[in-house]
């Protein structure tokens, strides 16, 4: 172990250091409480503090209290060394944060006994810290898995709902905006029927990779379900969301994954998309998604492989955004 000895008496310091060194421990030495505190802050991995009660500057009990209050990187086993044998004073030191005590003049065997106990306790604390770290890592992995679609590696429906709720709350708070684009792989059932479900899974993964290759810093993509994907764009206008959606649609068509059994050209895998932008505090995230879904349905009705924008007026049909605005 690494032991810090704090004592203003040279004889006591030498005795404690000699005993600890003989037992194979590494020792650091300070002549008062303030010096001990500075050594704790600057030294890596002190396990035990042997501190005198009465020292100039910061005394032993105050050093104990400061360690317990501020030195939280790891557990420090503290033994208070004192000439005071009054039980009330001993309890005062223990309440200040000491784990054990020694009465001066110190007995080498008593020092050894305290260090044996200290090693046992510090070892247990190290094990607990490692177990806690392992549990935190496992929890983080489990949380990540619970929010990730296992087939595509994209965020799943749960992650999408959390992020959409956050985007909505932020827009309400700061007066910003956000939008979504809901996509569907065109004629995906026909692809599965003719090429098989394993090939269909490959297409889902390819489309997901294509999304990840073209989305930007303020955009997030999720597997919405089945062959549907959702793009969330923060701090964006309707034109900006439409441009992002068109960028994705073009990229997927550009992969040129052959789909020879679709009833309409082109004979490659394509996407249809519906775009909607949050229109104000009276529109909920669910209503925003419904607007995007309505626009997607209309895009599929108009022949697929295109992106339509939801109209702000419920009486109007979804619109194809002019190309000049998508550049």
Q: Which residues contact 81 (CB under 8 A, 6 or more apart)?
A: 7, 12, 16, 50, 51, 52, 53, 60, 101, 102, 104, 106
Which of 166, 146, 164 lies closest to 156 in space, CA to CA? Answer: 146
Please, how many CA atoms are within 13 Å of residue 288, restricted to the half-sphere of its CB?
26
3 state SS of 123:
helix
C-alpha distances out from residue 219 to 92, 125, 184, 213, 305, Å: 59, 44, 18, 12, 21
Give the span between the Cα atoms of 327 and 320, in whole angstroms. Answer: 14
Beta bridge mates, 218: none
Of residues 26, 119, 227, 228, which has the active-site annotation?
Answer: 227
Which of 289, 269, 268, 267 lies closest to 277 in space, CA to CA? Answer: 289
The backbone region for 24, taken as left when phi is positive above 0, alpha when psi lies in -120 to 50, beta otherwise, is: left
**Residue 212 annotated among the catalytic residues of the structure:** no
Catalytic positions, written as ranges:
227
């Amino acid at each position: 172990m690494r032991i810090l000895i704090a004592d203003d008496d040279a004889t006591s310091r030498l005795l404690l250091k000699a005993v600890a060194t003989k037992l194979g421990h590494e020792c650091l030495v300070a002549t008062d409480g303030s010096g001990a505190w500075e050594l704790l802050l600057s030294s890596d991995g002190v396990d035990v503090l042997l501190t005198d009660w009465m020292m100039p500057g910061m005394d032993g009990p105050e050093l104990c209290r400061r360690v317990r209050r501020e030195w939280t990187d790891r557990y420090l086993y503290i033994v208070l060394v004192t000439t005071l044998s009054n039980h009330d004073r001993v309890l005062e030191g223990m309440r200040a944060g000491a784990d054990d005590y020694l009465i001066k003049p110190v007995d080498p065997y008593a020092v050894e006994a305290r260090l044996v106990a200290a090693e046992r306790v510090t070892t247990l604390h190290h094990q607990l810290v490692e177990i806690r770290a392992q549990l935190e890592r496992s929890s983080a992995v489990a949380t990540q898995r619970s929010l990730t679609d296992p087939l595509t590696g994209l965020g799943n429906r749960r992650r999408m709902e959390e992020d959409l709720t956050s985007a909505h709350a932020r827009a309400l708070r700061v007066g910003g905006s956000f939008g979504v684009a809901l996509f569907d792989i065109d004629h995906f059932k026909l692809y599965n029927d003719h090429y098989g479900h394993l090939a269909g899974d490959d297409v889902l993964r390819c489309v997901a990779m294509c999304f990840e290759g073209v989305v930007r810093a303020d955009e997030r993509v999720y597997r919405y379900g089945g062959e549907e994907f959702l793009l969330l764009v923060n701090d964006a206008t309707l034109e900006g969301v439409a441009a992002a959606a068109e960028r994705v649609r073009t990229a997927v068509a550009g992969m040129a994954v052959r789909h020879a059994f679709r009833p309409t050209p082109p004979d490659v895998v394509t996407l249809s998309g519906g775009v909607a932008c949050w229109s104000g505090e009276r529109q909920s995230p669910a209503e925003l998604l419904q607007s995007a879904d309505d626009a997607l349905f209309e895009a599929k009705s108009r022949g697929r492989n295109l992106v339509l924008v939801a109209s702000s007026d419920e009486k109007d049909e979804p619109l194809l955004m002019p190309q000049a605005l998508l550049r």
